[in-house]
Structure 1
Amino acid sequence: MKWRPRPLTVSYSEFKLRPTERKDADLRIQLDMLAFDLSEEDALANESNIINDPDTDLFMIEVNHKAIGKIQIYLEDSQAWIYGFSILPEFQGQGIGSKVLRYLVQEQSKKGYSVHLEVETTNTNALGLYKAVGFTVIHAQDYYTYKKA
C-alpha cells in the first residue's frame, strides 16, 4: 500500500515513540508471535535479522511509560516502508495505532519520503486503519498452499 498525501490530524500527546533497546527483545518477540502468527523460533530469527539492519529504525510505542507496541521504518532511496507495526491486544481499538501511524506518515512525508507498507489482504482491521489514514492498494497478491501429491 502507498500513502497518498493529504492533510492529517496528528496528536503526539497520548503516546511516545522511543528507539528499541535490548530490554525490549522479549516484548518484540511476543508481539511478532501475536500479531503475525509466528512461531517463537521464527520470531526469534526475525528479531535477530532486524535488530542488526542499519537501514531500519526500530521504535517501541509507549503509553503511560509502558511499552505496548512496536513499529519499524525501513528507508530505501526516496521511500519509507513501515513494517512490524503491532500493538498488544489489550491496547487495540483505542485509537493508539491510528495516532502512531498518522504521526510517522507525517514525519516521513515531511522528510521527503513516499510512505509504503505491506499488509495481509485478509487483515481487515489493519486494512481499515491504513485506508482511513490515506493508504491505497497499489499491488495485491494472494498466496496459495499446495499439497504434495
Structure 2
Amino acid sequence: MNFTIREKITEQDMENFFRSCLETAKNTNDFHYTSLKERHFEKSEEEIFELFKEEIVESFDFDRPDCKIFMLDSEQGEFAGYIWMGIRDSEDVWDFEKPLWIYDISVQPEFRRGGLGVKLLERAETFAKELNLNIGLFVHAQNTGAINLYKKCGYQVKCVPISKYPETRNIPQSAFHVEAHEKISEIESEIQTFGVEKFKQLVEFTAESTEDRIVERYHEYWQKNFKNDGNHSIFVARDDSDKIAAFVWVGEASFNERIAMNYDFAVCTDLRQGELEKQLIKIAENWVKKKEFSRYYMLLHVKHDLSLETCQELGLEAPGYFMEKKLK
C-alpha cells in the first residue's frame, strides 16, 4: 500500500490530529490529560476531548512558521498518522541553540509495523535541515518500541529527568571532608573554575562554541539561579590536600517552589562512578528532606559526571528520555 505525507490543510486534518493526540495522552498517562480528568471528573469523554483540544490551542501557536503538522494518508485517503513539530520553547543551560522539536508522532494501529514511523521522521528531519537545526524529542521510558525506533534512526539519549520523594539517608564515613555553603560568595571563584571544565562537555555534545562563550554562559547560569536565601546550598568534598574532589549544588527549583533541584554536579574524572558520588547525593537529599521540599529532581545529561545507574541505585526514577539527532 502506498502512503502520502503532506501538510495539514483541512479542518478534518486538525480534528484527526487532536483526537490522535488525546489517544497518545491516554496511553502514556500524560500529566495534562490525567489532571484534566481529575479537575473535570463529571465530564463525558467528548467534553474532555473538547477541553483537551482547547488547552493545546491555548498553549501552542499553530500559526508559527516553524510549526508543522505533516499528515499521513493511505492511498484510499484514510487518516494513517501524523508528526507535529516546532522549535522547542524551553532551553536547557547547555543548549546554545534550540532544536526543532517533535512534539508528537503517531501512526494509527492498523497501519503500524510498516516503516511509516521512519518515513514521518525522515520528513521531519528534512524540514529541520531546511531550518539548519538539529532535531529532538521526548519519549516515555515504557515505550520501548519507540525508543528502539529512534535509536535505529540515529537519535541519542541526551538527558534524563529523574526524581524521587526525599528520605533521610545514613551517610557513611569517607576519606573526603564535605563542607556546606549557603552563600555563593564564599566559594564562587573556586567552584566555578572546577565546574566549567565539566560544563564544556555538556555544551559540546550538541554544538560547537568558543571557550569564552561557554565560560560566560556557565557564570550567567550561577548568577541567575543561585539564591542567597537559605534555599540553596553547595556541598563540596575536599581531599587531604584541600583540593576540590567533587561538589553538588541543590536548591529550590525555578519552576516550582515545592521541588528541590540539582543545579550542578561535578567530580574529578578518576573518582567517577564511585562512593563519593553516592555520598554527595545522599547529603543533598538529606538537605532536601530537612528543608521539607516535596520532591528531589535533576535533569541528568549523558555527559554529566553523575551516572544514571548511580541515581537509579539511590531510588531516583526516570519517566522518559530527551533524545536528539545531529543534522548539522
The TM-score with structure 2 as length reference comes to 0.36
* Cα RMSD after superposing both structures: 2.8
State the shift of 1:110 in Å: 5.0
Q: Deviations over 1:59-96 (max 9, x none)?
A: 21222132211211212555211112111111111111
In 2 relative to 1, CA 53–119 (structure 1 residues): closer, same or farther, beyond 3 Å?
A: farther
Match in the other structure for 1:36: 25
Q: Which runs of 5+ in 2 are unaligned?
A: 27-32, 34-47, 89-96, 166-328
Q: Deviations over 1:1-55 (max 9, x none)?
A: xxxxxxxxxxxx7432222432223311221122221462553234423464524
Match in the other structure for 1:57: 68
Verify the 8 A CA contact 1:28 1:47 in the aligned structure 2: no
State the shift of 1:133 in Å: 0.3
SS at match of 1:93: coil
SS at match of 1:141: strand
- Greater RCO structure (CA 8 Å; 6+ sep): 1
SS at match of 1:113: coil
In 2 relative to 1, CA 52–16 (structure 1 residues): closer, same or farther, beyond 3 Å?
A: closer
Verify the 8 A CA contact 2:7 2:68 in the aligned structure 1: no
| Alignment equivalent of 1:45, drawn from 36, 43, 54 | 54
Instruction: Tell me the amino acid that sits aligned with residue 59 of structure 1.
Output: F
| Alignment equivalent of 1:95, drawn from 99, 112, 115 | 115
Check if 1:75 corresponds to 2:64. Answer: no
Q: Determine the C-alpha separation between the residues in 1 that align with 2:164 and 2:52.
A: 22
Q: Determine the C-alpha separation between the residues in 2 that align with 1:78 and 1:141.
A: 18
In 2 relative to 1, CA 68–136 (structure 1 residues): closer, same or farther, beyond 3 Å?
A: same
Aligned residues, how many? Answer: 134
In 2 relative to 1, CA 52–105 (structure 1 residues): closer, same or farther, beyond 3 Å?
A: closer
State the shift of 1:106 in Å: 3.7
Q: Which runs of 5+ in 1 are unaligned?
A: 1-12
State the shift of 1:114 in Å: 0.7
In 2 relative to 1, CA 46–135 (structure 1 residues): closer, same or farther, beyond 3 Å?
A: farther
Percent of aligned positions that are identical: 22
Match in the other structure for 1:124: 144
Verify the 8 A CA contact 1:80 1:113 in the aligned structure 2: yes
Q: Determine the C-alpha separation between the residues in 1 that align with 2:125 and 2:110.
A: 24
Q: Which has the larger radius of gyration?
A: 2
Verify the 8 A CA contact 2:84 2:104 in the aligned structure 1: yes
SS at match of 1:28: helix
